Amino acid sequence: MIAMLLAAGRGERLRPLTDTTPKALVEVHGQSLLERHLLALQAAGFETVVINLGWLGEKIVDRVGSGSAYGLNVVYSPEGDNVLETGGGIVRALPMLGQRPFLVVNADIYTDMPMPPTELEPGTSGKLILVATPEYREQGDFDLIDGRVRNVATASLTFSGVAIYRPEFFVGCSPGRFSIVPMLRRAADANQLAGEFYAGRWADAGTPERIAAI
pLDDT tens figures, 150-195: 999 899 999 999 999 999 999 999 999 999 999 999 999 999 999 9
pLDDT digits (tens, 9 = 90+) for 130-148: 999 998 888 899 999 999 9
Distance between start and end Cα atoms, the chain = 30
Q: Where are the beta strands (DSSP E) in the chain?
A: 2-6, 27-28, 31-32, 48-53, 73-78, 102-106, 109-111, 126-132, 143-145, 148-150, 157-165, 193-197, 202-204
Helix 33-43 / helix 57-64 crossing angle, nearest 10 deg: 50
pLDDT digits (tens, 9 = 90+) for 13-66: 767 666 778 888 988 888 999 999 999 999 999 999 999 999 888 999 999 999
Nearest Cα to Cα of residue 148 among 195, 199, 197, 198? 195
- Residue 122 CA, chain-centre distance (Å), reads 23
Q: Is it the case that residue 12 has pLDDT exceeding 80?
A: no
Tell me the C-alpha distance between 109 and 107, whole Å. 6
Q: Which fold has domain 2-213?
A: Spore Coat Polysaccharide Biosynthesis Protein SpsA; Chain A (3.90.550)
Q: Is it the case that residue 118 has pLDDT exceeding 70?
A: yes
Asked if 205 contacts 33 with a C-beta cutoff of 8 angstroms, the reply is yes
The pLDDT value recorded for residue 17 is 67
pLDDT digits (tens, 9 = 90+) for 97-109: 999 999 999 999 9
Q: Is it the case that residue 11 has pLDDT exceeding 90?
A: no
Tell me the C-alpha distance between 73 and 121, whole Å. 27
